[in-house]
Amino acid sequence: MALVSGNELFGRALARQGVDTMFYIMGGPINEALLAAMAHGVRGIDVRHEQAAAMMAQAYARVRCRPGVCLGASGPGTVNLTTGLANALIDCAPVVAFGGASPMSAFQTGAFQEIDQLALMKPVTKHADRVLDTARIPEYVDRAFRIAMSGKPGPVYLDLPGDLLYRQVEEDKVFWPEPAGQMPLARTPADAQRIQEVVDGLARAKKPVILSGSGVIWSQAAPALREFVEKTGIPFYTTPQGRGVIPEDHPWCFAQGRSTAFKEADFVLVVGTRLNFVFSHGKPPRFSSRACFARIDIDPTELQTCQRTNLPLVGDAGTVLRQLSQAAHGRIGLDHFAGWRSQLEAIEQAKAPAAEAKLASDAHPIHPLRLCKEVRDFIPQNAILCVDGQEILNYARQTIPSYMPGHRLNSGPFGTMGVGLPFGVGAKAACPEAAVVVLHGDGSFGLNAMELDTAVRHKLPLLVIISLNGGWTADPDKVKPGRDLGYTRFDLMAQALGCHGELVERAEDIQGALQRAAKAVAQGQVALVNVVTDWRARATTASFTSFST
């Protein structure tokens, strides 16, 4: 009778799920499992910190709209995954993480690197499990992928005890389930009566708006959302995580009129996003107390987490949007909200020139807004832009538009620093033909800066731009403890790792440096442009907590 090891079963199981890339750091007891997966065609990208591996897997998932995969060795290697997995959990991103573990036969004996990894992973994942039977490894792997993508997406963790990986079992005793990746996703419709209630509410409304989030991306519902917007003429706004589902140069995207649109809206249709701090929980004074809120979400429990849900619609975002489009046909047309659009357009036209003028500053040190303008004017519309930091994140949010679903990545509602470069590497691995640009603060860059080496070794040419303001956040009053980091020559560090690197100190030199960096990227080299910016420039944004300063 032919025997097969758990390592081999693991490698085959990943390949059967359609996995083509995994992010990891080598170590026991997963080395043979890694080799087995590679033997079955899975590309291994070894990183410099497991935290970055989980973040790369998240970026891969967002760009490809399928689970990303990361692995850690036992003990500290697996524990290092937790920050990235927590970020994926709050961001509702499907990541499947595997952790090697001490032998099950030695549990609770003080074995090398023994810790209860399952207990650690439960709070930071959608689901955490442990392989208990070598012959069932394919079932465990399949379940992990299935749970990651079902309903509201999220990260899943699977513990791999070393003795079960190396155990031999009879091959004909192994059951191979139909791979989760080959099963059609459930496209649940909303209740028909509730659809009519929402359309009735929209038909009565005078000033409706649409708020959409990354649920539109996971549902692959961008075409359905655009069709609904263009049939009804309703202005739309997105969360930072959901940007690009409709190109932001669309005539009904009134960015400068956002505050007015929220305050005066009498009907708010929320599609695939939480009503959390990003939208002030839908509460006054940001929104009118008289506004009616209809919400589309795949997760019924999510619809119960906010008081401002008058009309809940449980279902797949794309399916429900198509239901709404059909029900609105003949009742809501482009003329219905023409006056409302004209009001917001007037605000847009009045504010846009002043906003654009602020971007053209020739100040020295360079204002971050000028850096954002140069980046905006330089990168192609189909570029994948990863933004990470404090001031530069907020300035970029205000100034750099997005045009494609899944092509805007940032730290998200968990606010995790250090995601930028790992996101860039993961995005480039997921979509090698795309231009990938990382816009980083210098503090956040330092957290995972050695992933430049990962990009170089694995021939993943991307462009990294750093806003070098000498520390964490802006500090015009010099009162923040530990704020100052100095003006690190990250460009020289990049050169030492084999990258193209430049330092820029004057605004008029930014464009030339970006052009030279892009040329290096086109020739297969990772490039970094280190731009010295004004440490006093502080971006204004919503106060997310009562202690924000």
Residues composing the chain: 549
The domain 3-182: what is its CATH number?
Answer: 3.40.50.970
The distance of Cα 174 from the centroid of its chain, to the nearest Å, equals 36
Question: Which residue, 352, 328, 173, is CA-closest to 258?
Answer: 352
The domain 192-349: what is its CATH number?
Answer: 3.40.50.1220
Ranges of each domain in the chain: 3-182, 192-349, 360-532
pTM over 0.85: yes
DSSP secondary structure, 197-253, as one string: HHHHHHHH-SSEEEEE-THHHHTT-HHHHHHHHHHHT--EEE-GGGTTSS-TTSTT-
The pLDDT of residue 539: 84
User: Which tokens belong to 369?
Assistant: 């807004």
The pLDDT of residue 411: 87
Amino acid at 527: A
Distance CA 158, CA 162 (A): 13
The pLDDT of residue 544: 38
The pLDDT of residue 478: 75
Domain 192-349 in the same topology as domain 3-182 = yes
Task: Tell me if residue 301 falls in helix, strand or coil.
Answer: coil
- Placement of tokens 């009134």 in the chain: 254
> Over its length of 549 residues, how does the chain's per-residue pLDDT go in tens digits?
699 999 999 999 999 999 999 999 999 999 999 999 999 999 999 999 999 999 999 999 999 999 999 999 999 999 999 999 999 999 999 999 999 999 888 788 888 888 999 999 999 999 999 999 999 999 999 999 999 999 999 999 999 999 999 999 999 999 999 997 665 566 899 999 999 999 999 999 999 999 999 999 999 999 999 999 999 999 999 998 899 999 999 999 999 999 999 999 999 999 999 888 888 888 999 999 999 999 999 999 888 887 789 999 999 999 999 999 999 999 998 899 999 999 999 999 999 898 898 898 889 999 999 999 999 999 999 999 999 998 999 999 999 999 999 999 998 889 899 999 999 999 999 999 999 999 999 999 999 999 999 999 999 999 999 999 999 888 777 788 988 899 999 999 999 999 999 999 999 999 999 999 999 999 999 999 999 999 898 887 544 333 333
CA separation, residue 39 to residues 12, 36, 143, 459, 519 (Å) = 9, 5, 23, 20, 35
The pLDDT of residue 109: 84
Which spans in 241-289 are helix H?
258-264
DSSP secondary structure, 446-458, as one string: HHTTTHHHHHHHT
Architecture per CATH, 360-532: 3-Layer(aba) Sandwich (3.40)
